[in-house]
Amino acid sequence: MNDIHDLRPGPYGCFLATALLAVALALPDQSLLHAADSPAFAQNPIIHADVPDLAMIRVGDTYFMSSTTMHLSPGLPLMKSKDLVNWQLVSYAYDVLEDRDELNLANGKNAYGRGSWASSLRYHDGSYYATTFSQTTGKTYVYTTRDIENEPWKVTSFSPAFHDHSLFFDDDGRVYLIYGGGNLRLVELTPDVVAVKPGGLNQVVITNASAVAGPNIGLNAEGSQLFKVHGKYYLFNITWPRGGMRTVILHRADQITGPYEGRVALQDRGIAQGGLIDTPQGEWYAYLFRDSGAVGRIPYLVPVKWENGWPVLGVEGKVPDTLPLPPSKGLIPGLVASDEFDRKPGEPPLPLVWQWNHQPDRQHWSLADRPGYLRLTTGRVDGDFLAARNTLTQRKFGPECSGTTAIDLAHMKDGDIAGLALLQKQYGLVGVKADHGTNFVVMVSAESGAPVELQRVPLSQQTVFLKAECDFKDQVDRARFFYSLDGQSWSSIGNALKMKYTLPHFMGYRFGLFNYATRTTGGFADFDFFHVSGALNTGNK
pLDDT tens profile 368-379: 999 999 999 999
CATH 2.115.10.20 residue ranges of the chain are 4-323
Determine the pLDDT at residue 2: 36
Q: What is the largest CA-CA distance in the chain?
A: 75
Rg (CA), the chain: 24
pLDDT-based confidence at residue 268 (cuts at 50, 70, 90)? very high
Model confidence over 197-234: pLDDT tens digits? 999 999 999 999 999 999 999 999 999 999 999 999 99
Q: Are 14 and 303 in contact (CB under 8 A)?
A: yes
Determine the pLDDT at residue 38: 52
Rounded Cα distance between 358 and 361, Å, is 9
The values of phi and psi at residue 408, to 5°, are: -90, 120
CATH dotted code for 4-323? 2.115.10.20
E strands in 415-523: 417-423, 428-435, 438-445, 452-459, 463-471, 478-484, 490-492, 497-498, 510-516
Determine the pLDDT at residue 411: 98
pLDDT-based confidence at residue 40 (cuts at 50, 70, 90)? confident
Q: How many CA atoms lie within 13 A of 193 on its CB side?
A: 28
Q: What average pLDDT does the segment 464-482 reach?
A: 97
Determine the pLDDT at residue 535: 87
Determine the pLDDT at residue 539: 52
Q: With a cut of 50, say whether residue 537 has pLDDT above it.
A: yes
Q: What average pLDDT does the segment 279-306 reach?
A: 98
Model confidence over 386-406: pLDDT tens digits? 999 999 999 999 999 999 999
Rounded Cα distance between 251 and 233, Å, is 8
Q: Specify the DSSP class assigned to residue 41.
A: S
Q: What average pLDDT does the segment 192-196 reach?
A: 98
Q: With a cut of 70, say whether residue 64 has pLDDT above it.
A: yes
Rounded Cα distance between 495 and 518, Å, is 24
**What is the rounded average pLDDT for all residues in the chain?**
92
Rounded Cα distance between 240 and 290, Å, is 13
Q: With a cut of 60, say whether residue 505 has pLDDT above it.
A: yes
Q: Is the peptide bond before 333 cis (omega within 30 degrees of 0)?
A: yes
Rounded Cα distance between 452 and 23, Å, is 53
| Residue 144 CB coordination number (10 Å) | 20
Q: What average pLDDT does the segment 179-199 reach?
A: 97
Q: With a cut of 70, say whether residue 39 has pLDDT above it.
A: no
Determine the pLDDT at residue 129: 98
Determine the pLDDT at residue 9: 33
Q: With a cut of 60, say whether residue 6 has pLDDT above it.
A: no
pLDDT-based confidence at residue 171 (cuts at 50, 70, 90)? very high
Task: Report in angstroms the alpha-carbon separations of 299 from 17, 55, 203.
Answer: 22, 11, 32
Contacts of 388 (CB under 8 A, 6+ apart): 105, 357, 382, 514, 515, 516
**DSSP H or E segment with residue 241:** strand 232-241
pLDDT-based confidence at residue 11 (cuts at 50, 70, 90)? very low
Edge-to-edge strand ranges of the sheet holding 392-395? 72-73, 355-357, 392-395, 510-516, 417-423, 428-435, 438-445, 452-459
* Sign of the four-CA dihedral 448, 450, 455, 457: positive
Rounded Cα distance between 88 and 203, Å, is 38
Q: Are 220 and 210 in contact (CB under 8 A)?
A: yes
Model confidence over 175-184: pLDDT tens digits? 999 999 999 9
Determine the pLDDT at residue 32: 38
- pTM of the full structure: 0.91
pLDDT-based confidence at residue 10 (cuts at 50, 70, 90)? very low
The rounded percent of the chain whose pLDDT value lies above 90 is: 91
CA-closest candidate to residue 246, choices 71, 114, 499, 53: 53
* Residue 109, beta-bridge partner list: none
Q: Specify the DSSP class assigned to residue 101.
A: H
Q: What average pLDDT does the segment 260-266 reach?
A: 98
| Residue predicted with more confidence, 10 or 49 | 49
Rounded Cα distance between 36 and 291, Å, is 24
CATH 2.60.120.200 residue ranges of the chain are 355-533
E strands in 242-391: 247-253, 261-266, 272-278, 284-291, 297-307, 310-313, 322-323, 355-357, 365-366, 374-377
Q: What average pLDDT does the segment 511-526 reach?
A: 98
Q: What average pLDDT does the segment 354-369 reach?
A: 97
Q: What average pLDDT does the segment 312-329 reach?
A: 96
Burial of 170 (0-12, 13-18, 19+ CB in 10 A): middle
Determine the pLDDT at residue 538: 55
Question: Please, what CATH class does the domain formed by 355-533 belong to?
Answer: mainly beta
210-214-215 Cα angle (round to 5) = 90
